[in-house]
Amino acid sequence: MSEKILVIGANGQIGTELVLNLRGKYGAEAVIASDIHPSKHPLITEEHFELVNVLDKVLLENIFEKYQPTQVYLLAAILSATGEKHPQMAWDLNMNGLLNVLDLAVKYKTQKVFWPSSIAVFGPNSPRDNTPQYCTMDPNTVYGFSKLAGERWCEYYFIKHGLDVRSLRYPGLIGWKSDPGGGTTDYAVNIFHEALANNKYESFLSAGTALPMMYMDDAIRATLELMDAPADKITIRSSYNLAGISFTPEQLAAEIKKHLPDFEISYAEHDPRQAIADSWPRSIDDTQAAQEWNWKINYDLAAMTADMLENLKG
Ligand code: AKB
Domain boundaries, the chain: 5-172+219-227+234-241, 174-213+244-313
What percentage of the chain carries pLDDT values higher than 90?
96
75 closest CA partner among 177, 153, 6, 28:
6
Q: How many CB atoms lie within 10 A of CB 252?
A: 24
Q: Judge whether residue 1 has pLDDT over 70.
A: no
- How much is the average pLDDT of 92-113? 98
User: Which pLDDT score is estimated for 42?
Assistant: 87
- What values do phi and psi take at 71, rounded to 5? -135, 140
C-alpha to C-alpha distance for 207 and 209, rounded to whole angstroms: 6
In angstroms, what is the span from residue 173 Cα to ligand 1's centroid? Answer: 8
State which of 80, 86, 121, 146 you would mutate to test the pocket of ligand 1, scoring each by most atoms of that ligand within 8 A of its C-beta.
80
Report pTM: 0.97
CATH of region 5-172+219-227+234-241: 3.40.50.720
Ligand 1 binding pocket includes 183 (Cβ within 6 Å): yes
Cβ atoms of 132 and 241 within 8 Å: the answer is yes
> Cα–Cα distance between 54 and 235 in angstroms, integer?
28
Task: Assess whether the C-beta atom of 104 lies below 6 angstroms from ligand 1.
Answer: no
Q: What is the pLDDT of residue 179?
A: 87
HEC secondary structure over 39-100: CCCCCCCCCCEEECCCCCHHHHHHHHHHHCCCEEEECCCCCHHHHHHCHHHHHHHHHHHHHH
pLDDT value, residue 104? 98
In the CATH hierarchy, which fold is given to the domain comprising 174-213+244-313?
A: UDP-galactose 4-epimerase; domain 1 (3.90.25)
- Select from 75, 148, 170, 187 the residue to mutate for testing ligand 1; criterion: most ligand atoms less than 8 Å from CB: 170
Q: SS3 for 242?
A: coil
Each residue of 120-166: pLDDT tens digit? 999 999 999 999 999 999 999 999 999 999 999 999 999 999 999 99
Say yes or no: CB of residue 120 within 6 Å of ligand 1.
yes
Distance 213 CA to ligand 1 centre (A): 9
- State ipTM: 0.99
Catalytic residues: 143
Question: Would you say 40 and 109 are in contact if contact means Cβ atoms under 8 Å apart?
Answer: no
3-state secondary structure of 272: helix
Query: pLDDT by residue (tens digit) across 167-221?
Result: 999 999 999 998 888 999 999 999 999 999 999 999 999 999 999 999 999 999 9
Q: Is residue 242 over pLDDT 70?
A: yes
Nearest CA residue ID for atom 6, ligand 1: 172
Q: How far apart are the first and last CA of the chain?
A: 40
Q: What is the pLDDT of residues 2-13, one digit of tens each?
A: 999 999 999 999
* Spatial CA neighbour of 108 closest among 154, 155, 60, 75: 60
For residue 109, the model assigns a pLDDT of: 98
Condensed to tens digits (0 to 9), the pLDDT of residues 24-53 reads 999 999 999 999 999 988 888 889 999 999
